[in-house]
């Protein structure tokens, strides 16, 4: 599609309308500002995550008749969390057991009859075909008994699905249902996480990944825990980069037993200045940021004066500037006033 600068488009409309063209004021632009990383390195916002976090759901449908836990409760592996109405399932187990007993009784009758038929055959009182019929009937009742025993086992196993248990020892983070709600297969009932396995995760621009090396050791901090002292720990860099933000996830494990740390807490990781080939951070004015629904971007103005909205990922705000983690590069010209650029775009 042909892209026409805003000023040229306005002039063309005026010519077609027969009115003299009035040049539209040019957008005020500013170059993406850079800040050299100091000896302390570059920091990025992060979040505390649970390595093991499970949304517990039911395998069967039914009304919830017992809710044994609430958010914040510690649970043990195998502990009953939710009970679902199992009266129909219990009746099914009883019926299956009765069918098994009836089939076993029928098999005993045919077994005895088969033994009598064999004795009669040995005395040549009955034919071979009569003996074969007795044997076939005995084998048929055996097969029927095995089938009913399997059905009874399935019914007994399904009856255990009406009690939802904890998959491992942990903490209940959220309860999504209430007593009397209808449980459905696959619908989350509550969430459980393991407090002994936590990590810090941050999105780092791809331009800094090469400088991290194969086995980076990074520092981190959790502002909500000012009295804690954290030592540098080995970090894991995931082998994929997000296509929309051009960032990769960097994860740092947390030692077990740190008090007060829960999933969702704000944290920061610090990369040494040597990890960046350029050693600088990018900033744009806060007024240059345009937010549309879930998309955040800035208008980058090219050499012809054409303003194009480009999606960016932002970091921390420092005064009138905001850090840009991805989406722009050094030397780009961005519109200072995003609202004015949006009107002319």
The more confident residue out of 157 and 165 is: 165
Q: Which of 46, 35, 31 is nearest to 247 (CA)?
A: 46
Judged by average pLDDT, the poorest of 36-40, 64-68, 83-87, 140-144 is 36-40
- pLDDT band (50, 70, 90) for residue 341: confident
pTM, 2 dp: 0.61
Whether 67 contacts 179, CB under 8 Å? yes
Q: What is the DSSP string of 26-69?
A: PPPEEEPEEEE-BTTBEEEEEEEEESSEEEEEBSS-EEEEEE--
pLDDT tens column, 111-132: 998 899 888 888 888 889 888 9
φ/ψ (deg, to 5) at 116: -65, -40
Domains of the chain: 6-14+21-37+279-344 (2.40.420.20), 42-51+197-275 (2.40.30.170), 58-85+161-193 (2.40.50.100), 87-156 (1.10.287)
pLDDT tens column, 43-55: 788 999 999 999 9
pLDDT tens column, 199-239: 999 988 877 777 777 778 888 888 877 666 678 888 888 88
């Amino acid at each position: 599609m042909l892209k026409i600068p805003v000023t040229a488009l306005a002039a063309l409309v005026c010519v077609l309308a027969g009115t003299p063209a009035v040049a539209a004021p040019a957008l005020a632009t500013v170059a993406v500002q850079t800040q050299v990383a100091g000896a302390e390195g570059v920091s990025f916002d992060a979040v505390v995550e649970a390595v093991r976090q499970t949304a517990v759901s039911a395998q069967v449908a039914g009304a919830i008749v017992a809710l044994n836990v609430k958010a914040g409760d510690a649970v043990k592996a195998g502990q009953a969390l939710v009970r679902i109405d199992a009266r129909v399932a219990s009746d099914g187990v009883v019926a299956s057991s009765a069918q098994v007993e009836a089939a076993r009784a029928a098999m005993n009758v045919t077994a005895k009859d088969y033994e009598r038929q064999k004795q009669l055959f040995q005395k040549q009182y009955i034919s071979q075909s009569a003996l074969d019929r007795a044997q076939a009937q005995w084998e048929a009742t055996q097969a029927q008994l095995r089938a009913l025993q399997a059905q009874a086992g399935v019914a007994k196993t399904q009856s255990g699905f009406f009690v939802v248990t904890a998959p491992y020892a942990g903490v209940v983070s959220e309860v999504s249902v209430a007593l009397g709600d209808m449980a459905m297969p696959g619908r989350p009932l509550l969430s459980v996480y393991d407090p002994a396995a936590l990590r810090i995760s941050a999105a780092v621009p791809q331009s800094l990944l090469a400088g991290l090396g194969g086995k980076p050791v990074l520092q981190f901090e959790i502002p909500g825990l000012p009295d804690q002292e954290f030592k540098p720990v080995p970090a894991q860099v995931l082998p994929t980069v997000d296509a929309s933000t051009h960032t990769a996830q960097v994860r740092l494990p947390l030692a077990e037993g740190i008090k007060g740390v829960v999933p969702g807490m704000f944290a920061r990781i610090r990369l040494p200045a040597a990890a960046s080939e350029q050693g600088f951070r990018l900033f744009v004015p806060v007024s240059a940021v345009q937010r549309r629904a879930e998309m955040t971007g800035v208008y980058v103005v090219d050499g012809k004066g054409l303003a194009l909205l480009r999606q960016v990922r932002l970091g921390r705000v420092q005064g009138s500037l905001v850090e840009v983690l991805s989406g722009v590069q050094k030397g780009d010209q961005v519109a200072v006033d995003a609202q004015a650029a949006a009107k002319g775009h």
